[in-house]
Amino acid sequence: MEQTISTTPRKTGLPITNGKLGMWLFLGTEIMFFTAFIGVYIVLRIGSVDATGRSAWPGPEEVHINAAAGAFNTFVLLASSFLVVMAHNAMGQKEYGKARKYLAFTFLCACIFLGVKAFEYQGKFEHGILPGQIPETAEEAILKTTGSVESILNAELERLTTEGENVLEKKTILQTEELEWKEKEPNSARLEEIQAVLALNIAYTELNDSRRLGELNLQDLENRVEELKANDKFGSLLESLHVYHPILYGNIFASTYFLMTGFHALHVVIGMILFAVAICARLSERWADYVENSGLYWHFVDLVWIFLFPLIYLIPATT
Amino acid sequence: MKDVTHSETYEPHGSSKLYLSIFVVLCVCTAVSWLVDELRFENTTLLVVTVLAIASLKAGFVMLYFMHLKFEENWKYAILVPTIILAIGLPLTLLPDIGLQYYTSVNPQAMIVEEVVTSETAPSTVEQKTSPEALDPEKSDAPAESAPE
């Protein structure tokens, strides 16, 4: 029995490859993933008001936001998006060497983006702009500053003596040692170090006591810290110390900032892995879909940044 | 089912020239939004609307040309319309409770009441809100003039 087989198959399904459909469905979930973060950021930012109802969102100087760095990174990502689409174009025209070159430049752009991002993160880490680490009231700022004097003191005690289980014991041990050195060798460097840390201990106790009694305000603290730094005995130990200032809503800023930019940076890293695979492979016709789909993914990463840039860097704090 | 492979689907959607011009437009848009920010408009609502409109324009260009949505068939709506509705819906549903309070906030940060806002010599509201004096309850009776810059 003869069976007629139609040479043109019935057209069903979508006119795109399964891989591309999968990528688009994934990007659909990604849109919702990022808009959850961005939406929450917008809502929290609008809700961050003071008692009078005006916005109290921290300004760019307070939380070390640099619009120029953001604009530069936007440019870098746009350039990389352009390079990806050129790579896709070259794959279609079967110019695989050219496609590889474009992908390599895209990879380079991603590296530059992450470099600038790392530089920005570094600045925030240095200034303590981290979730849960930012004082929001004067009281918290004073506590954090005296706390950092204490940790400098404790580190110095730790350095000078390994004996003693706790700070108190260490202090007693050093006090005994001070007397011994005074008799043996009154001019030794060791004695000077011990006397410095013991003097710092007294200064810290005084500072902490006036904090506990509520006698310290930020201006006083600043003057006191200046005095301590000028002290010829232990002033050199306090070089890294600075007085913290309260940043209203700083913690919620830091949380949302690191959540959004962190997840975005993670996406950049994943994109780099996708491109690295293509660059290392022998590109051929079989790779056309791969380049197209990873390109779609990369454009999405670019899209997210296009919205993060104005929302984080451009819209001023006073709105 | 039709076996779709790349060789069948690849159609030259755009030329390098088109992509380059889109890239230039995107760069100009970025530069404009950065400049708008540098100008420091008095009217901040205008600024917000401008920079977000430029961002949407840029997103539109990237999606239409770089992601080839302009050349795709109608399946694109099936994927994008539901997600975009959900994406816009989420902040809108959260907004009334957290963003737009008709009542007074009771979070500790917002409990700090500003003093002497009526004084002509008072520094700008931003400075006052974040200045140590404004945040220290013990100094709440201090005159605004003493607030450090």
Distance from CA of B25 to the nearest CA of A (A): 10
Distances (CA, A) of A205 to A103, A208, A230, B47, B57: 61, 5, 18, 50, 59
Residues from chain B that touch A136, judged by Cβ atoms under 8 A, are 108-109
Interface probe with B: pick from A248, A252, A300, most Cβ of B within 10 Å: A248
pLDDT value at residue B106: 62
Rounded to whole angstroms, the Cα distance separating A224 from B46 reads 45
* Residues ≥6 apart with Cβ < 8 Å to A163: A169, A170, A173
Cβ of B135 and A246 within 8 Å? Answer: yes
A251-298: pLDDT as tens digits: 999 999 999 999 999 999 999 999 999 999 999 999 999 999 999 999
Mean pLDDT of B108-127: 48
**B102 has pLDDT over 80:** no
Q: Quote the minimal CA–CA distance from B91 to chain A in Å.
A: 5
Decide if B130 and A248 are in contact by the 8 Å CB cutoff. yes
Q: Which residues in chain B have Cβ-Cβ distances shorter than 8 Å to A84?
A: 66
The reply to whether A197 touches chain B by the CB within 8 Å rule is: no
Contact yes or no for A48/A252 (Cβ under 8 A): yes
Distance (Å, whole) CA A181 – CA B140: 51
Q: Where are the alpha helices (DSSP H) in A9-133?
A: 18-47, 67-92, 96-126
**A154-168: pLDDT as tens digits:** 999 888 888 888 888
Instruction: Tell me which chain B residues have a C-beta less than 8 angstroms from the C-beta of A9.
Output: 1-3
Q: Which residues of A touch B3 (CB under 8 A)?
A: 9
- Per CB-CB distance under 8 Å, the chain A contacts of B38 are 67
From the CA of B40, how many Å to the nearest CA of chain A?
9
pLDDT confidence of residue A180: 87
* Contact across the interface for A46 and B19, Cβ inside 8 Å: no
pLDDT tens for chain A, 319 residues long, are 556 665 665 666 778 889 999 999 999 999 999 999 999 999 999 888 877 777 889 988 888 999 899 999 999 999 999 999 999 999 999 999 999 999 999 999 999 999 999 999 999 998 889 999 999 988 889 999 999 999 999 999 888 888 888 888 888 899 888 888 888 888 888 888 888 999 999 999 999 999 999 888 888 899 999 989 888 888 888 888 888 999 989 999 999 999 999 999 999 999 999 999 999 999 999 999 999 999 999 999 999 999 999 999 998 766 5
Residues of A (135-194) whose Cβ lies below 8 Å from B: 136-139, 141
Contacts of B47 in chain A (CB under 8 A): 314-316, 319
**Cβ contact, residue pair A50, B135, below 8 Å:** no
CB atoms within 10 A of CB A11: 8
User: Which pair of structure tokens corresponds to residue A74?
Assistant: 């936007």
Residue B43: pLDDT band with limits 50, 70, 90: confident
Q: How far apart are CA A169 and CA A301, in angstroms?
A: 56
pLDDT (0 to 100) of residue B128? 43
* A217/B132 CB distance under 8 A: yes
Residue closest to A14 by CA, chosen among B129, B130, B135, B78: B78
Q: A205 to chain B nearest CA, in Å?
A: 22
User: Contact A229/A45 with Cβ under 8 angstroms?
Assistant: no
CA separation for the pair B86, A307 (Å, rounded): 17
Task: Please name which of B105, B125, B107, B106 lies closest in space to residue B115, comparing C-alpha atoms.
Answer: B125
Q: From CA A24, how far away is CA A295, in angstroms rounded?
A: 12
Which pLDDT value is given to residue A300?
97
The answer to whether A102 and A225 are in contact (CB under 8 A) is no
DSSP string of B2-51, one letter each residue = ----HHHH------HHHHHHHHHHHHHHHHHHHHHHHHT-S-HHHHHHHH
Nearest in space to A37 (alpha carbons), one of A255, A244, A269: A255
Q: Does A31 touch chain B (CB under 8 A)?
A: yes
CB–CB contact B91 A75 (8 Å): no
Residue A47 has what pLDDT? 86
Would you call A31 and B63 a contact, using CB atoms and an 8 Å cutoff?
no
Asked whether the predicted pLDDT for residue B59 surpasses 70, the reply is yes
Residues 219-238 of A with CB under 8 A from B: 219
For residues B56 and B62, what is the distance between their CA atoms, to the nearest angstrom? 10
Q: How far is A315 from chain B (nearest CA, A)?
A: 6
Interface touch A246/B130, C-beta < 8 Å: yes
Q: How far is B96 from chain A (nearest CA, A)?
A: 9
pLDDT of A50 reads 79
pLDDT the model gives residue B127: 43
Q: Which residue has the tokens 């319309």?
A: B81
Q: What is the mean pLDDT of residues B4-10?
A: 47
Checking if the pLDDT of B38 tops 50, the result is: yes
Beta-carbon count within 10 A of B18 CB: 13
What pLDDT is attached to residue B133? 47
Q: Is A249 in contact with B109 (Cβ distance < 8 A)?
A: yes
> How many contacts does A have with B, using Cβ atoms within 8 A?
232
Q: How many angstroms separate the CA atoms of A247 and A97, rounded?
A: 52
**pLDDT score at A315:** 86
In a mutational test of the A interface, the residue from B3, B37, B54, B103 whose CB has the highest number of chain A CBs within 10 Å is B37
CB contact under 8 A, A92 and B10: yes
CA–CA distance, A301 with B128 (Å, rounded to integer): 39
Q: Is B33–A310 a contact, with Cβ atoms under 8 angstroms apart?
A: yes
Say yes or no: A309 contacts chain B, CB-CB below 8 A: yes
pTM value is: 0.81
